[in-house]
Structures are given as structure tokens and as C-alpha cells.
Amino acid sequence: MASLREIKTRIGSTKKTKQITQAMEMVSTSKLKKAEENAKNFVPYMEKIQDVVSSIASGNIEVDHPMLTSRPIKKTGYIVIASDRGLAGPYNTNVLRKMNEAIQSRHQSKDEYTIIPIGKVARDFCRKLDLPIAHEITGLPDQPTFAEIKEIANYAVNLFAEEEIDELNLIYNHFISAISQEVTETKVLPLTDIEAGETQTSMYEYEPDQEQILEVLLPQYAESLVYGALLDGKASEHASRMTAMRNATDNAEDIIDELTLSYNRARQAAITQEISEIVSGAAAQE
């Protein structure tokens, strides 16, 4: 049985841990509000650019753009969005498991795929397993801007345009709510799943012409899909870390209660022992 001093030391260290997890939970809660707002604010832009692109692609003109055309898949690119730090519950584990399952089920050799990890955790995981990495990005802020992600998004789109890969997929955590996130895989390229919106093509006037506008919009649309997934992933990260820190705080409270009970019992036993020794000593002197 642990001594009173050992139990008291454990209580003190657990209380300090609880203070840290409480502080981290508050920080994550604050970041989550901003990240959720950023993700929601980006949705109208995504819907509008998708509406314009789909209206042109489904119009009367014949569209012959490589981003809209499927080709035999010889090599697949994966953009995997994780975090730079741990202590985020299952956030990173779920994404990396999803990526690993996709690779194991679809590919026979490392020549058939390449990975673009976003976040130190994903990068280190790929390096540890010696997986092929085309490019990487780490150290993104908690509230990233499009300028900060444009380079790697453009790089990934160019890989497809130059036929170094034949399809590009995104693997990330989709934010549903503060307590619910879902690992999602989305095909970015080729853009064969663009759904036409309710707006008809005739409601738009194109200058100079539809083909040239599509030439500019399609890469921007693909890049926006990557950025939107990153915003979604950041909101999921903060939510997962907030939940993890809350659970850690609750566990610390339970441990403190158990240790306090053990301390009181041990202290009571020690006092009882001392009283017994005093009584026994007094009786011996009579």
C-alpha cells in the first residue's frame, strides 16, 4: 500500500494535470468557434463556383477539358489532412487508418500511388512506413487562409494536369458537430461528379467565352475543394481536441476523488494505529 506522502504527491500532480487539460479545453473551444465560422462562411463561395462550373459543363457547348475527363487509373494521389500535434483524441488515428485501408485495398505496389500529407502527424506516419510522398506541408496556423494552402493545392492539381497521377482523392475529418466528426474520402479530380444547380445556363453571360472561363475556373474549383476540406478538418481537429481534453479533465477528477478517499482511509488507519499503540503503552504501565 502506498504511503500517505506518495498518495499526497499523486493527488498534487493529478491536480496540476487537470489544470492543464482544463486550459487546453478552453483554448480548443475558443479556436473551434472561429474554425466553424470559417468553414461555414466558405460554403456559399463553394456553392456559387460549383453552380457556375456545372452550368457551363452541362450547357450546349462541347467541353473537352482534361479535368472533366476520366482516364485509365495508373497512379492515384492522396491528400491526407491531419494535424501538427497530438492530444486530439481519435482525430489523427481515424484519418491515417482510412488512408492505410485505402492503400492496402486498392494498390499492389508503391508505384501505384503517392501521398501529399498535410500536418506533421501524417508526414511522420508516411515516413515511418516508407510511403511515397510527393509533397508535404506542415506548420499551418489554426485559422489558415487560402493563400497559405494555395501552393500545395495548385501543386496537386498540376500533378493531375501533367498526367503524373490519374485521380486525386482527399481524406479528412468532416465536421458535423462539436461532438461528431466523420472520416471522409472525396474525389477531387477528375471532376466527373459536378452536379448542376438550379440556376440555368441562360442566366449567365460569359465574357470572353465559356471555354476560356472554364479553363480558369476548373483549377480554382479543384483548389477550393482542397481548401474547403482543410477548413472542415481544422474545425474537426479543434472539436476533437476539446472533447479529448474534457474527457481527460473528467478522468483526472475521478482519479483525484479515488486518491483522496485512499488518502483519508490511510490517514484514518494511521491514526487508529497510533491510538492503539498509546492505549497499549498506557496499559502496560499499570
Task: Name which residue leads in pLDDT, 272 or 20.
Answer: 20
Number of domains in the chain: 1
Q: What is the amino acid identity at position 171?
A: I
Least confident of 136-140, 209-213, 219-223: 209-213
pLDDT tier for residue 22 given thresholds of 50, 70 and 90: very high
Q: What share of the chain is helix, strand, coil (3-state, %, to 5)?
A: 65, 10, 25
Distance, in Å, from the CA atom of 255 to the CA atom of 170, rounded to the nearest integer, reads: 40
pLDDT exceeds cutoff 70 at 108: yes
Q: Is 30 a domain residue?
A: yes
Residue 81 in domain = yes
In the chain, pLDDT over 70 holds for what percent of residues? 88
Domain-located, residue 224: yes
Q: What does the pLDDT average to over 17-40?
A: 91
CB 50 within 8 A of CB 221: yes
Name the residue type at position 86: G
| 79 is a domain residue | yes
Strand order across the 180-189 sheet: 113-118, 76-81, 167-177, 180-189
Would 47 be classed as within a structural domain?
yes
With respect to residue 12, please indicate whether it lies within any of the assigned structural domains: no
Please give the residue that has the higher pLDDT: either 122 or 50: 122
Q: Is residue 256 situated within a structural domain?
A: no
Query: What residue numbers bound the domain in which 160 lies?
Result: 25-243
Please state, rounded to an integer, the average pLDDT across all residues of the chain: 85
* Cβ 83 vs Cβ 97: under 8 Å: no
Element (H, E) at 2: none
The reported pLDDT for the residue numbered 43 is 86
Classify residue 114: in a domain, yes or no.
yes
Strand 167-177 and strand 113-118: pairing?
unpaired
Q: What pLDDT is recorded for position 57? A: 65
Q: What's residue 125's pLDDT?
A: 94
pLDDT tens across 51-75, in order?
Answer: 877 777 665 556 667 787 788 999 9
Residue 53 belongs to a domain with what CATH number? 3.40.1380.10
